[in-house]
Amino acid sequence: MFTSQEIIETINMVKQSNLDIRTITVGISLFDCSSDIPQRFIDNMRKKIIKYAGNLKNVANEIEDMFGLPIVNRRVALTPISLLTFSYSYEDLIKVATAIDDIAKELEVDLIGGYSAAVHKNYDENTRKFISSIPDALASTDRLCSSVDVGTTRSGINLDVIAHLGFIIKEIAQKTKDKDSFGCARFVVFANAPDDNPFMAGAFHGTGEGDCSINVGISGPGVVKRALEEKKDASIDEIYETIKKMAFKITRAGQLVLQYASKKLKIPAGIVDLSLAPTPKVGDSIAEILEEIGVEKVGGYGTTFALALLNDAVKKGGAMAASFTGGLSGAFIPVSEDSGMVRAVEAGALSIEKLEAMTSVCSVGLDMIVVPGDVEAEVISAMIADEIAIGVYNNKTTAVRVIPAYGKKEGDEVNFGGLLGGSKVMKINRSSPKRLIERGGRVPPPIISLRN
């Protein structure tokens, strides 16, 4: 039950601090749609997506009108397509990808995820074929999102697939070069990927999620920043408590939307992902929150500490406000989507190496990092390997969404528009990791995975 006071507080946060619901994501299982005949699978899939998500846009609009709460994206997440297409040819896979994209356009869904695979152990020929199709799948679509999970704390790290993914990302960049290699923004590599993540590009409907569910991803960096602006002389423990209180209020807004959307769509409620997700708007930035906590410029010493404090306070505050929390939950640090991060890059204060350190305590990982287009594939693979190691050995979700902007060099600017923003091309370490990456193989799980 929500009080009128809570609703009024939510409206004030919208008006004054850029509060929004970043996404309502409908997750749909496709196991009962599977068929050895690709067109039959496509037809079955289309019927089921329309059944559950056909009214998503209208319900989201109704929620906006009723509560005055902006809903930025309407999204759908599907069962990982690789699980359903083992017998398909390369051409069949591209046909499925374009069909999914067409369904999203028909329903006016902003993004649709699930062109995905999990490759923790063996890298068989069917999975290799699927992953090899990702560049053409993304180049021939506009709303389709793709992900690959290459490691878990239980299974270890698959270096064979990581080595391949460096070349896959380079190919995506080349095939979407007319849009500053924008296709790479719709592809993410994971460790410990959650089954209920509502955020793109990594959303998919996990195998343990049931037939259908609805998950909500909240935002609200501006709300936290505004609260901290009133605490200029506060101690660090007071800062921590302030963030917890604001996270509670933000998450209550997400819970309100989840309950209403579940009732209207007649879909079981899933989770609220209580992440702080920035936008390119000034004042809606994780970097600016860290600077309010006391860091002079994001990237300077103390940044990782401030981010750890923020992430923990958000999780603890939000967990009390929702029936079920999940997904990624915490603070996101996508560079191009955060105006404060972009300014730090331009000032030379924020490097990829510092970002990597920050990912040990944030919700995701190296996110929306733009690098020179001539970067070697092995360097991209090594960046992925480093980040996946952080996730696997710390038993947390990490991810890499890196964009080698075709034809761009260090210091050049790219602009993706909308929520994805833009950034300068970041400096990279050119030392070659080729010998390491070409060794291939699979790294066994850490000892933490053997605990009872």
Look at residue 223 in the predicted model and tell me its pLDDT.
83
Is the pLDDT score of 27 beyond 90? yes
Look at residue 385 in the predicted model and tell me its pLDDT.
96
Tell me the C-alpha distance between 378 and 426, whole Å: 17
Tell me the C-alpha distance between 347 and 212, whole Å: 46
Q: Euclidean distance between the first and final Cα of the chain, in Å?
A: 39
Higher pLDDT, 451 or 70: 70
Residue 184 near residue 172, CB atoms below 8 Å: yes
Q: What is the pLDDT of residues 158-172, one digit of tens each?
A: 999 999 999 999 999
Q: What is the pLDDT of residues 146-201, one digit of tens each?
A: 999 999 999 999 999 999 999 999 999 999 999 888 999 999 999 999 898 888 88
Which of 438, 424, 397, 372 shows the shortest CA–CA distance to 311?
397
pTM: 0.92
Look at residue 1 in the predicted model and tell me its pLDDT.
46
Looking at residues 93-120, what average pLDDT do you find? 96
Q: What is the pLDDT of residues 403-423, one digit of tens each?
A: 999 999 999 988 887 778 888
Structure tokens at 379: 């360097």
Tell me the C-alpha distance between 19 and 15, whole Å: 8
Is the pLDDT score of 37 beyond 90? yes
Looking at residues 300-306, what average pLDDT do you find? 94
> Domains in the chain, ordered, with CATH?
1-444 (3.20.70.20)
Residues above pLDDT 70, as percent of the chain: 94
Look at residue 443 in the predicted model and tell me its pLDDT.
84
Is the pLDDT score of 17 beyond 60? no
Tell me the C-alpha distance between 7 and 417, whole Å: 32
Structure tokens at 65: 């009108």
Tell me the C-alpha distance between 363 and 326, whole Å: 11
Look at residue 2 in the predicted model and tell me its pLDDT.
47
Residues in the chain: 452
pLDDT band at 317 (very low <50, low <70, confident <90, very high): confident
Tell me the C-alpha distance between 17 and 19, whole Å: 6
Helix crossing, 90-106 with 38-53: angle to 10°? Answer: 20
Is the pLDDT score of 10 beyond 70? no
pLDDT band at 14 (very low <50, low <70, confident <90, very high): low
Is the pLDDT score of 452 beyond 50? no
Tell me the C-alpha distance between 417 and 401, whole Å: 17
Beta bridge partners of 214: 26, 269
Look at residue 7 in the predicted model and tell me its pLDDT.
56
Is the pLDDT score of 367 beyond 70? yes
Tell me the C-alpha distance between 18 and 13, whole Å: 7
Residue 189 near residue 388, CB atoms below 8 Å: yes
Looking at residues 275-303, what average pLDDT do you find? 87
Look at residue 421 in the predicted model and tell me its pLDDT.
81
Looking at residues 85-104, what average pLDDT do you find? 96
pLDDT band at 277 (very low <50, low <70, confident <90, very high): confident
